[in-house]
């Protein structure tokens, strides 16, 4: 048996980001930039008013005050989006709206609150500072300035900054397309009648949800019976269209473990026993002319989930050019539980909040890898020390979160509020 | 001016979850259940083997050991998915695969590792315990057991548990459909030529990304010039099709603020000044025969972003029946900055890790609400005490995260690794 870390290192050493693509900024959400991106324009693009008011020449307002307002005629209105080039003559003002371009010759804005707001002959009650309420061209960003370094993940703020900077297309690590294949004569797709000896294929839909949540695209979710020819044909088809393939089932020692039989000796494929509980039988390799990473996970739903979190999610992140490690946390065990000595044990736990605000964890349901009931209440996998035979109450435990942290924190926040209301 | 909390409470008091829908489990990812969901079957559905091996009658293996193996004839093979009902006669065994149904009369499984694995006349080297390696029908979940309480958010684990439990459709709070409308003569859609006095509409695409990231569906992203008739017509059309509407621009005090003009007096619409910086001019109301919440946000991109995080995101969560509060965190200011006295100030900050593992925050770029450059590097909004005129270096600050926490933590994790490698 090899350790979890050895296997993960071996897997990740073979996983490369997918090819670069150029996409409109709006379509690049959650993808990662491959080059530094610079602004193609000054921001603001032109001098403009930051307030509704009047564009003025300061010299005309020498000594103006509430007690001693200056009245000047309005040459016209300039609104945001006005494409004409206006000029301000001495002894006049332009009425100006927020975001509107400054008329030539104006050197300050008097905001409407410092006037009587008259549309034609306003009383102006201040002598403004040089440049008051003017946003100067280029004061935020200059043409050529770095907007986003290579390796940035595109979120809403990045989209706003790029578009404002005149950048409408960017080069990113492409979206990762994933194919999922469940195998086994016993499996029936959800919604179809289940005969004796048969079970619902929950792995396919679970993996589909996991892959989506990890920010990748599911291009195929299928199920095949234990038929060597069919499995072989389908796997080769998927290697042409997907950037990562996940299979479940068919990798134990039995006679009917056809995924192992079909893939053995292909590409860099290796089938190994990893010192972990659950999830011991793992297969991985890079296959086909497009070097597609293929994971063959054990078919038991809990083993599938743990294998995904431990090996597949980091590989998906790397394939997308993203950093890993965002799902790590620590907590305290509120009760003890047994772990498997010599194997890294992943125990499904429920997270609560201890009085100091830390995560307090307790096992969710039983430890058997076939128990799917507790899947619905588990928030995290508690990772035990492979040298220890138990986790003791009160000890600190490393957690691999099974949900986005925001979702866990939102639930805890809502529960805190409930307690507050009760108390 | 009213406080942020007063305005938020007023908004949320008017926001109800959207109507319930029944969906196939696979299509309900990230939606929230409205009823308790019970299993319709026992899990496992039938007694089955947890190992590859031989199904036996224990009485036939009395005294079996490595030194004294018992050899018994194989009646046949039973694989996972085998739909025939087999029976085990005394003095025989069935070769059985993981997940295969137990033959009638068998009371234990001898795993293949405790035999010589012979397909017809295996040497069996143990006297197994009663029920060894048998997963009993109903030991995980019994028909009628609660699988998921009302109010649960459907994630990958919930999908697996529901499908396994024979549940293929569930009742959930429906997906939330959002329409986004930017207004202003100065706006040009991304990718089109920008004339003098014009700017790119970055708010529409930014809001689209924010709404998607918050788990809702964008059904319309549009832009309209300052044309009262066009704005009125479009808003009424959107009220028929969307579950929430967000507009930007046109809500200040200027003559050209047509969104305010068109919506004033409609439904419960109110235009207020909120004691916050940026984001002071806020409009909200519930409109139309479908009681659609409408937010009119200020048009400046930074004001738009802050308004979304403070008011719209919580409303979207409530509309989807989800808990709020998942984006809250705390950090320490590594340097001081000024905040607006009398107003709750939201300062864009970058997050780093301090030596104790806590979030260390510093301002990202300038404080002006028109500065879009720092949008791309800000990880959070630091929320200042409205009574204080500054945030002092070293003080604890409340944070509203602008990115999923997993993304922030992944970056910090990657940076830690880089430091480790350098050190």
Percent above pLDDT 70 for chain A: 96
For residue B153, the chain A residues in CB contact (below 8 A) are 407
Closest-approach residue (CA) in chain B for A369: B50
Distance in Å, alpha carbon of A94 to nearest chain B alpha carbon: 14
pLDDT of residue B257: 79
d(CA A385, CA A364): 19
CA distances from B310 to B75, B205, B399 (A): 69, 19, 11
The most confident of the ranges B119-123, B356-360, B419-423 is B119-123
A421 DSSP 8-state letter: H
Mean pLDDT of chain B: 93
Residue A422: pLDDT above 60?
no
Give the number of A-B residue pairs with CB atoms closer than 8 Å. 339
Whether A31 has a pLDDT exceeding 70, the answer reads yes
Which pair of structure tokens corresponds to residue A321?
A: 């050019």
What the block records as the tokens of B290 is 């479908």
Domains and their CATH numbers in chain A: 4-17+175-319 (3.40.980.10), 20-43+140-173 (3.90.105.10), 48-135 (2.170.190.11), 328-422 (2.40.340.10)
With pLDDT > 70 as the criterion, what percentage of chain B qualifies?
96
Cα atoms found within 13 Å of the Cα of residue B142, Cβ hemisphere only: 1
* From B94-98, B101-105, B343-347, B414-418, the region with the lowest mean pLDDT: B414-418
> 């900050």: which residue's tokens?
B349
* B26 neighbourhood in chain A, CB within 8 Å: 190, 205, 208-209
Tokens of A394: 């009160």
Measured CA distances, B356 to B353, B359, B360, B394 (Å) = 8, 9, 10, 14
Give the CA dihedral A252, A258, A261, A266, nearest 10 degrees.
-110
- Chain B residue numbers with beta carbons less than 8 Å from the beta carbon of A135 are 368, 370
Residue A296 and residue A252: Cα distance in Å, rounded? 11
Distance between CA atoms of B129 and A349, rounded to whole angstroms? 30
Q: Omega of the bond prior to A313 within 30 degrees of 0, cis? A: no
Torsion of CA B80, B85, B89, B95, to 10 degrees: -10
Q: Which residue of A has its CA nearest to B80?
A: A186
Nearest chain A Cα distance for residue B289, angstroms? 31
Mean pLDDT (whole number) for B373-399: 90
Q: Name A181's Cβ contacts closer than 8 Å, sequence gap at least 6.
A: A204, A220, A222, A223, A224, A231, A234, A235, A238, A245, A246, A247, A248
Contact A202 B163 (CB under 8 A): yes
Q: Interface pTM (ipTM) of the complex?
A: 0.93
Residue A168 is nearest to which of B112, B190, B255, comparing CB atoms? Answer: B190
What's the distance, Cα to Cα, between the start and end of chain A in Å? 53
Q: Which among A146, A178, A177, A179 is positioned nearest to A33, based on CA atoms?
A: A146
pLDDT band at B253 (very low <50, low <70, confident <90, very high): low
What is the rounded end-to-end Cα distance, in angstroms, of chain B?
A: 53
Partner residues linked to B294 by β-bridges: B245, B285
Q: Where are the alpha helices (DSSP H) in B189-243?
A: 203-213, 228-241
Angle at A124 between CA A118 and CA A128, to 5 degrees: 135
Q: Do B196 and A83 touch (CB under 8 A)?
A: yes
Contact A156 B191 (CB under 8 A): no
- pLDDT attached to residue B366: 57
Whole-number pLDDT of residue B375? 77
Position B255 confidence tier, pLDDT thresholds 50, 70, 90: low
Supply B417's token pair: 């690794």
Q: What pLDDT is stored for residue B230 in this prediction?
A: 95
Contacts of B27 (CB under 8 A, 6+ apart): none
What are the residues facing A346 on neighbouring strands?
A383
Chain A hits for B407, Cβ within 8 Å: 153, 155, 326
Count Cβ neighbours within 10 Å for each residue of B346-366 and write b for 16 or more, e otherwise.
bbbbbbbbeeeeebbbbbbbe
User: What is d(CA A12, CA B288) in angstroms, rounded to the nearest whole number?
Assistant: 54
Instruction: Return the pLDDT at A423.
Output: 41
Dmax over CA atoms of chain A, in Å, equals 99
Q: Which residues of B255-274 are buried (b: 16+ CB within 10 A; e: fewer)?
A: ebbbbbebbeebbebebeeb
Least CB–CB distance from B301: residue in A46, A164, A210: A164
Nearest to B324 among A205, A226, A410 (CB): A410
Contacts of B55 in chain A (CB under 8 A): none
- Tens-digit pLDDT profile for residues A264-273: 999 999 999 9
Residues B87-111 have a mean pLDDT of: 96
Rg (CA), chain B: 31
Residue from B154, B203, B190, B209 nearest B404 by CA = B209
Please check whether residue A282 is in contact with residue A307, taking contact to mean a CB–CB distance below 8 angstroms.
yes
Bond before B278 cis per omega within 30 degrees: yes
pLDDT at A335 over 50: yes
User: Using the beta-carbon criterion (under 8 Å), do A164 and B45 form an inter-chain contact?
Assistant: no
- CB distance A328–B252 less than 8 Å? no
Provide, as residue numbers in chain A, all residues whose Cβ is less than 8 Å from the Cβ of B104.
Answer: none
Cβ within 8 Å of residue B324, ≥6 positions away: A410, A413, A414, B313, B314, B317, B318
Tens of pLDDT, residues A159-212? 999 999 999 999 999 999 999 999 999 999 998 999 999 999 999 999 999 999
Angle between helices A203-213 and B156-164 (to 10 degrees): 170
- Identify the residue whose tokens are 């603001």: A44
Q: Average pLDDT in the A45-70 region?
A: 96
What gap in Å lies between CA B405 and CA A408, rounded to an integer?
11
Nearest residue in A to B255, CA atom: A97
CA separation for the pair A113, A117 (Å, rounded): 8
Q: Which residue has the tokens 């997918």?
A: A18
Q: What is the per-residue pLDDT for B365?
A: 73
Instruction: Out of A43, A168, A402, name the one closest to residue B372 (CB).
Output: A43
> What's the pLDDT at B420?
61
pLDDT tens track for A210-226: 999 999 999 999 999 98
CB contact under 8 A, A324 and B414: yes
d(CA B258, CA B185): 11
Quote the minimal CA–CA distance from A268 to chain B in Å. 27
B32: closest CA among B163, B145, B174, B165?
B174
- pLDDT exceeds cutoff 50 at B423: no
Q: How far is CA B21 from the centre of its chain?
A: 19
Segment B189-227, tens digit of pLDDT = 998 999 999 999 999 999 999 999 999 999 999 999 989
Average pLDDT over residues A364-377: 68
The model's pLDDT over B32-91, given as tens digits with 9 standing for 90+, comes to 999 999 999 999 999 999 999 999 999 999 999 999 999 999 999 999 999 999 999 999
The dihedrals phi and psi of B422, each to the nearest 5 degrees, come to -70, -40
- For position B240, what pLDDT does the model report? 95
CA distance A369 to A277: 8
Neighbour count for residue B143 (Cβ, 10 Å)? 14
Q: Nearest residue of A to residue B225 by CA position?
A: A81
pLDDT value at residue B256: 65
pLDDT surpassing 60 at residue A56: yes
Amino acid A341: pLDDT: 85
Task: Name the burial class of residue A61, with classes exposed (0-12), middle (13-18) and buried (19+) by CB atoms within 10 angstroms of its CB.
Answer: buried
Please report which helix (H) or strand (E) contains residue A296, including its range. Answer: strand A292-297
Positive or negative, the CA dihedral B163, B167, B172, B175 is positive
| Three-class secondary structure of residue A407 per DSSP | helix
Cβ-defined contact of A301 to B164 (cutoff 8 Å): yes
Q: Which of A1, A2, A6, A12 is nearest to A295 (CA)?
A: A12
Give the rounded distance of the alpha carbon of B27 from its chain centre. 14
Per-residue pLDDT at A355: 84
Nearest by CB to residue A140, choosing from B83, B202, B372, is B372
């Amino acid at each position: 048996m090899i350790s979890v870390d050895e296997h993960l290192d071996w897997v990740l050493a073979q996983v490369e980001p997918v090819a670069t693509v150029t996409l409109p900024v709006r379509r690049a959400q959650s993808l990662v930039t491959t080059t530094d991106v610079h602004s193609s324009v000054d921001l603001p693009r032109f001098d403009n008013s930051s307030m509704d008011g009047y564009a003025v020449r300061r010299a005309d307002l020498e000594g103006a005050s509430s007690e001693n307002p200056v009245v000047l005629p309005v040459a016209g209105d300039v609104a945001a989006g006005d494409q004409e080039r206006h000029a301000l003559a001495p002894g006049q003002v332009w009425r100006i709206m927020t975001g509107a371009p400054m008329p030539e010759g104006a050197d300050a804005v008097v905001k409407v609150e410092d006037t009587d707001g008259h549309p034609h002959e306003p009383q102006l009650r201040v002598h403004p500072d040089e440049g008051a309420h003017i946003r100067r061209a280029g004061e935020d960003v200059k043409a050529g300035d770095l907007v986003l370094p290579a390796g940035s993940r595109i979120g809403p703020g990045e989209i706003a900054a790029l578009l404002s900077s005149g950048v409408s297309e960017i080069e990113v690590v492409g979206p990762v397309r994933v194919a999922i294949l469940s195998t086994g004569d016993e499996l029936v797709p959800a919604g179809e009648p289940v005969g004796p000896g048969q079970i619902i294929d929950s792995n396919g839909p679970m993996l589909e949800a996991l892959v989506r949540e990890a920010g990748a695209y599911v291009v195929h979710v299928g199920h095949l019976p234990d038929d060597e020819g069919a499995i072989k044909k389908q796997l080769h088809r998927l290697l042409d269209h997907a950037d990562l393939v996940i299979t479940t089932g068919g990798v134990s020692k039995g006679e009917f473990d056809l995924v192992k039989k079909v893939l053995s000796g292909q590409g860099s494929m290796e089938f190994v026993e990893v010192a972990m509980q659950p999830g011991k039988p793992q297969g991985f390799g890079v296959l086909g002319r497009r070097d597609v990473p293929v994971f063959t996970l054990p078919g038991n739903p809990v083993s599938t989930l743990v294998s995904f979190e431990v090996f597949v999610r980091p590989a998906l992140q790397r394939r997308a050019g993203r950093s890993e490690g965002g799902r790590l946390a620590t907590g305290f065990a509120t009760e003890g539980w047994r772990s498997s000595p010599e194997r890294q044990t992943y125990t499904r736990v429920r997270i609560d909040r201890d009085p100091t605000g830390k995560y307090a964890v307790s096992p969710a349901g039983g430890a058997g890898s076939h128990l799917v009931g507790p899947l619905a209440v588990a928030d995290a996998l508690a990772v035990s020390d492979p040298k220890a035979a138990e986790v003791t109450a009160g000890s600190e435990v490393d957690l691999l979160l099974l949900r986005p942290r925001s979702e866990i924190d939102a639930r805890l926040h809502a529960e805190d509020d409930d307690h507050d209301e009760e108390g």
